[in-house]
Amino acid sequence: MRHTSEGRPIKPLNEWTATETVAAIAAGGTSCEAVVRACLDRIAAREAEVGAWAYLDPEAALASARAFDASGKRGPLAGVPFGVKDIIDTFDMPTEWGTPIHKGRRTDRDAACVALSRKAGGVLLGKTVTTEFANLHPGKTRNPHDLTRTPAGSSSGSAAAVADFMVPIAIGTQTTGSTIRPASFCGVFGYRPTYGEHRMHGVMEASGSLDTLGILARSVEDVALYRDVLLGIPPEPIPTLNRAPRIGLCRSHVWDQIEPATRKLVEDAAQHLARAGATVTDFELPADFARLNDAHRWISSFEFARTFTWEIENHWDEISDTLRGGRLNDGINGNFERYIAAKETAAECRARLDSLWGDTDVLLTAAAFGEAPVGLAAFAGVPLFQLWTALHVPQISLPVFKGPNNMPIGAMLIAKRHDDRKLFACAQWATSKLT
């Protein structure tokens, strides 16, 4: 690693955050081509082991970077390389949904989120690996911190690429826990926005009542920047807190399923934040919120099975046993009345949660049940994610813990619906105290 004249280490370009990259390019300190080349060099060195990418064309990426530099174009993501999950349409790359059924599938336009990213000056490097139809059957990606362990699904490639310094930011999606869980397992920031705020046009639908985009990044500032880019609004700085936050420690009805070491990490973090000035109290969800796990299951399964009717009817034998015996089995045999009842349960709990917040700013809980398990198919902890995803609340995983095997574990902060900016402010404060 190179050093400044004062002896301070200089980070390689591929390790810069998006925010640092934008500032450096604006100041003339580097070029988009140099940053893209550094990311591609990292990919060349590590991709054979990590397997984060479903599609990559280095020459096309460098040509785009050179064109950006020559154009003099600027924007909120000026010159920043990014990746997108391979269920998100791009006009110049295949989008295969993690299944051989759609091998080579191409569209003639970008998804809204990709178009907004390019409009803001971002340079798309490629498509990151997803699980089959963004469900449970794993792709080739391995956890960059330990190649014997899962990176989680379904935004596996996006999380691993960011964690391994292949790209500063990437887009994933979440229907159950597909952004928060891989962020926790891979040790990056993972953000699932308030449901409905971002356009999903051009993104493969899994369950339209639950699907959102997700952002994987290496700083809260990058998450906040990219969130505004994907909203198509002028980016705003993270607001400054005028006081330490009021935090509710939420153990929820699945707390006893979380690994003891992880429970202790979260509870110790709550005490640490309290000593740092936060007001920390226990936040107890009503007991009947436990119904949300089944509600999520029946909503997501019923919608998923109908979304993929064509594949079921025409390519059943090419669908994995994992998917056929899980969500598709639930959905195909799903009952419409039970589906409607599940939607009503979720809507009722959302309304009740709004009234339970009081003066609490954010909730604190675990972002996963524990460390990434050994094996690529080991996606632990679905009940933890079903609850919060069904509630449509914004969530962010903070890479602040290490587990018994020195693997990353995230702390999760949750805010009231549409309080995403407050979530970022509290996340920035909490991260500064816990790292």
Burial label, 103 (beta-carbon count in 10 A; 0-12, 13-18, 19+)? exposed
Is residue 89 one of the residues assigned to a domain?
Answer: yes
DSSP string, 141-184: ---TT-TTB---SSSHHHHHHHHTTS-SEEEEEESSSTTHHHHH
- Nearest-angstrom CA–CA distance, 303 and 305: 6
Residue 142 has pLDDT above 70, yes or no: yes
Question: 123 is written with which tokens?
Answer: 């340079």
Is residue 412 one of the residues assigned to a domain?
Answer: no
Query: Pick the catalytic residue: 64, 85, 127, 209?
Result: 85
Q: What is the pLDDT of residues 406-428, one digit of tens each?
A: 999 999 999 999 999 999 999 99
Is residue 199 one of the residues assigned to a domain?
Answer: yes
Kindly report the CA angle at 212 between 74 and 266, in degrees rounded to 5?
Answer: 100
Amino acid at 215: I
- Nearest-angstrom CA–CA distance, 189 and 186: 9
Is residue 322 one of the residues assigned to a domain?
Answer: no
CB-CB contact of 414 with 392 (8 Å): no
Domain of 173: which CATH number?
3.90.1300.10
Q: What is the pLDDT of residues 207-245, one digit of tens each?
A: 999 999 999 999 999 999 999 999 999 999 999 999 999
- Nearest-angstrom CA–CA distance, 390 and 396: 15
- Nearest-angstrom CA–CA distance, 216 and 160: 9
Give the confidence band of 9 by pLDDT, cuts at 50, 70, 90: low
- Nearest-angstrom CA–CA distance, 40 and 435: 29
Mean pLDDT value of segment 91-107: 98
Strands (E), 346-424: 362-366, 395-402, 408-414
Give the confidence band of 329 by pLDDT, cuts at 50, 70, 90: very high
CB-CB contact of 207 with 392 (8 Å): no
Cross-strand pairs, 375: 149
Query: Annotated catalytic, 85?
Result: yes
Question: Where in the sequence is the domain holding 199, given as residue range(s)?
Answer: 13-231
Query: Annotated catalytic, 207?
Result: no
Residue 44 has pLDDT above 80, yes or no: yes
Which pLDDT score is estimated for 377? 81
- Residue 391: closest CA among 419, 371, 372, 411: 419
DSSP H or E run through 28: none
Residue 6 has pLDDT above 50, yes or no: no
How far separated are the first and last CA of the chain, in Å rounded? 23
Give the confidence band of 376 by pLDDT, cuts at 50, 70, 90: confident
Is residue 65 one of the residues assigned to a domain?
Answer: yes
Match 């709004």 to its residue by tokens: 354
Q: What is the pLDDT of residues 306-324, one digit of tens each?
A: 999 999 999 999 999 999 9
Amino acid at 292: L
Mean pLDDT value of segment 262-281: 98
Amino acid at 168: P
Q: What is the pLDDT of residues 150-203, one digit of tens each?
A: 999 999 999 999 999 999 999 999 999 999 999 999 999 999 999 999 999 999
Query: Pick the catalytic residue: 64, 117, 127, 154?
Result: 154
Question: pTM surpassing 0.75?
Answer: yes
Query: Exposed e or buried b for every residue in 141-176, given b needs 16+ CB within 10 A?
Result: bbbbbbeebbbbbbbbbbbbbbbbbbbbbbbbbbbb
Which pLDDT score is estimated for 10? 80
Q: What is the pLDDT of residues 279-309, one digit of tens each?
A: 999 999 999 999 999 999 999 999 999 999 9
Q: What is the pLDDT of residues 65-85, one digit of tens each?
A: 999 999 988 899 999 999 999
Residue 3 has pLDDT above 60, yes or no: no
Residue 1 has pLDDT above 90, yes or no: no
Is residue 103 one of the residues assigned to a domain?
Answer: yes
Kindly report the CA angle at 30 between 220 and 77, in degrees rounded to 5?
Answer: 40
Is residue 375 one of the residues assigned to a domain?
Answer: no
Query: Annotated catalytic, 355?
Result: no
Query: Pick the catalytic residue: 178, 184, 207, 300?
Result: 178
The bridge status of strand 246-249 relative to strand 279-282 is: parallel
Residue 333 has pLDDT above 70, yes or no: yes
Count of domains observed in the chain: 1
- Nearest-angstrom CA–CA distance, 407 and 50: 16
Which pLDDT score is estimated for 74? 87
Is residue 267 one of the residues assigned to a domain?
Answer: no
Share of the chain above pLDDT 90, in %: 95
More confident residue, 3 or 103: 103
Which pLDDT score is estimated for 4? 45
